[in-house]
């Protein structure tokens, strides 16, 4: 009996090797190689005798992207205006984050646009029906197919010719032509390629739901994200009801936009004004609390920062950051010690972004500095004040972009004072009802909010 040939494939990047390796030469990841059986080549290649003729790019007739509105405003925002005809979209997120719920709501919102084929390899028709009843979905155009064999799924797509296809999830699908198990690198790569060919050829919009690894990446090879047109991630903390839909790749729109939802009994509910929700529980005015204005794409968000400083009982003080970069916190604490003269070297410092949202923008630096000083001195910052600005290593407050959008959001929500960089104040073209205070360094900012 002939011995079955095997290869070792990296689950992260798809690199192939004849032997197992501890570290992948392609992506430098450790312990990512898995053994797979080679598929038997029973048929000769039919493409060897084909002749292809390249076209001049100037002679190609371009088509405008035909979009279908999803009926969910936040989803349309992230997609760049709606679903593009014939596009391939990958949606990822942790288990229970709301991927299937949001996509099932989408299937109902596109009622009247054509048939929708929902292919599930994880749940039965009864389970999908129970979720649809809970979400009050009664679209007669939704067709369900509980199948994992890609050959049968392709036949169903060609026969039904739907306008929208949902694959839930890509890791459960398999092809008999590949001997490895479902979910492996070879299977995921082949299944995605076949779905892409059939849907692009028939101009069928397709949404693929993918599992994520413990690191938060889509399970399977990275080539999966390169093959699709759009990659969306649903983010959120387990103990918070808010969800963020973020685009990390979009061939038909911006990758800077985010959409916000709240998980409720009736499904994923849009949050059209996230700032008012994120600061809705801030009634009192304690020390160690401040409102900052950050940008998520073109959308301004007002978010509360909280800080707590306390004398350290150990030899080395602790620095803890939740929702913000830890290294940025330690850097700004050092600036605060050096340039403002605050003795924080013996203090434990804890910084938290309220509502479980993560901020990566440097425009919240000044807010981080002031909130730490507020907690250390036990002096409150006026709750009607918004702080904006980037802080440099010499304590200077640097200009930030899109300052007028941030100020409009603060004005709309009833804030009275805004601390911004002096260089931004000089360039303001519009007038605001806010009391705008320009500062050049952190000492001026501390004086402006009463911390000096």
pLDDT along the chain (452 residues), means of 10: 67 81 87 72 53 82 77 91 91 86 92 89 90 90 92 93 91 83 80 90 91 64 80 81 87 85 88 80 83 88 93 88 93 94 92 86 95 95 94 95 92 93 91 92 94 87
Provide the pLDDT for residue 184: 76
CA separation for the pair 161, 114 (Å, rounded): 9
pLDDT number for residue 371: 96
Entry pTM: 0.76
**What is the C-alpha to C-alpha distance for residues 173 and 192, in angstroms, rounded to an integer?**
9
Q: What is the pLDDT of residue 43?
A: 45
Instruction: List C-alpha distances in Å: 144 to 129, 198, 202, 266.
Output: 10, 19, 20, 21
Distances, alpha carbon 120 to alpha carbons 111, 196, 346, in Å = 20, 17, 56
Q: Please state at what angle helix 150-160 crosses helix 185-201, rounded to 10 degrees.
A: 10
pLDDT value of position 142: 93
3-state SS of 179-202 is: CCCCCCHHHHHHHHHHHHHHHHHC
Cis peptide before 169 (omega within 30 of 0): yes
Q: What is the CATH number of domain 67-272?
A: 3.40.50.300
* DSSP string over 390-411: EE-TTSBEEP-S-HHHHHHHHH
CATH classification (class only), 277-448: alpha beta
Q: Which two tokens stand for residue 313?
A: 């009982």
Residue 98 region by backbone torsions, left for phi larger than 0, else alpha for psi between -120 and 50, else beta:
left
Asked whether the beta carbons of 166 and 116 are under 8 A apart, the reply is yes
Greatest alpha-carbon span in the chain? 85
Render pLDDT for 44-77 as a digit per residue (tens, 0 to 9): 445 556 787 888 888 877 666 678 889 899 999 8
Interacting residues of 383 by C-beta distance below 8 A, sequence separation 6+: 282, 284, 285, 289, 291
Measured between alpha carbons, how far is 348 from 314 in angstroms, rounded to an integer? Answer: 9
Beta bridge partners of 398: 390
- For residue 67, what are the β-bridge partners? 84
**For residue 175, what are the CA distances in angstroms to 15, 48, 151, 184, 374?**
20, 24, 7, 11, 61
Q: Report the chain's C-alpha Rg in angstroms.
A: 26
Write the DSSP symbol of residue 56: -
pLDDT score of 9: 82
Angle separating helix axes 326-340 and 365-377, nearest 10 degrees: 60
Q: Render pLDDT for 310-364 as a digit per residue (tens, 0 to 9).
A: 999 887 899 999 989 999 999 999 999 999 999 998 999 999 998 778 888 999 9
Token pair 């690198």 is at which residue? 185
Environment class of 22 (CB within 10 Å of its CB; exposed 0-12, middle 13-18, buried 19+): exposed
In b/e form, how buried is each residue of 358-392, taking b as 16+ CB within 10 angstroms?
ebebbbbbbbbbbbbbbbbbeebbebbbbbbbbbe
């Amino acid at each position: 009996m002939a011995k079955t040939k095997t290869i070792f494939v990296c689950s992260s990047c798809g690199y192939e090797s004849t032997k197992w390796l501890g570290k992948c030469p392609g992506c430098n990841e450790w312990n990512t190689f898995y053994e797979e059986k080679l598929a038997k080549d029973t048929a000769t290649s039919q493409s060897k005798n084909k002749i292809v003729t390249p076209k001049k790019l100037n002679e190609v007739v371009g088509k405008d992207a035909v979009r279908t509105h999803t009926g969910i405003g936040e989803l349309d925002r992230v997609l760049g205006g709606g679903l593009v005809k014939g596009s391939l979209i990958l949606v990822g997120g942790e288990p229970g984050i709301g991927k299937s719920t949001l996509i099932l709501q989408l299937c109902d919102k596109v009622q009247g646009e054509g048939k929708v084929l929902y292919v599930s390899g994880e749940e039965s028709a009864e389970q999908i029906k129970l979720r649809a009843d809970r979400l009050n979905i009664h679209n007669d155009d939704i067709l369900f197919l509980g199948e994992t064999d890609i050959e049968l799924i392709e036949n169903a797509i060609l026969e039904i010719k739907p306008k929208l296809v949902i694959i839930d999830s890509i890791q459960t699908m398999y092809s008999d032509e590949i001997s490895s198990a479902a979910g492996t690198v070879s299977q995921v790569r082949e299944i995605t390629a076949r779905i892409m060919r059939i849907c692009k050829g028939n101009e069928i919009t397709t949404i693929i739901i993918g599992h994520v690894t413990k690191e938060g990446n889509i399970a399977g090879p990275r080539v999966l994200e390169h093959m699709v047109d759009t990659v969306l991630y649903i983010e959120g903390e387990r103990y918070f009801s808010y969800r963020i839909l973020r685009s990390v790749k979009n061939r038909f729109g911006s990758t800077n936009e985010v959409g916000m939802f709240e998980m409720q009994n009736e499904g994923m509910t849009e949050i059209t004004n996230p700032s008012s929700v994120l600061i809705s529980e801030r009634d009192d005015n304690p020390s160690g609390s401040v409102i900052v204005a950050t940008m998520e794409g073109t959308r301004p968000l007002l978010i509360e920062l909280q800080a707590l400083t306390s004398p350290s009982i150990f030899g080395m003080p602790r620095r803890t950051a939740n929702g913000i970069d830890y290294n940025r916190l330690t850097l700004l604490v050092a600036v605060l010690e050096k340039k403002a003269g605050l003795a924080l070297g013996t203090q434990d410092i804890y910084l938290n972004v309220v509502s479980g949202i993560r901020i990566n923008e440097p425009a919240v630096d000044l807010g981080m500095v002031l909130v730490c000083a507020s907690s250390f001195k036990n002096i409150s910052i006026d709750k009607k004040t918004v702080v904006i600005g980037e802080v440099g290593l010499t304590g200077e407050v640097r200009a930030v972009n899109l300052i007028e959008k941030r100020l409009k959001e603060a004005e709309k929500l009833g804030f009275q004072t805004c601390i911004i960089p002096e260089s931004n104040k000089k360039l303001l073209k519009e007038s605001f009802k806010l009391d705008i205070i320009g500062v050049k360094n952190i000492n001026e900012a501390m004086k402006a909010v009463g911390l000096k």
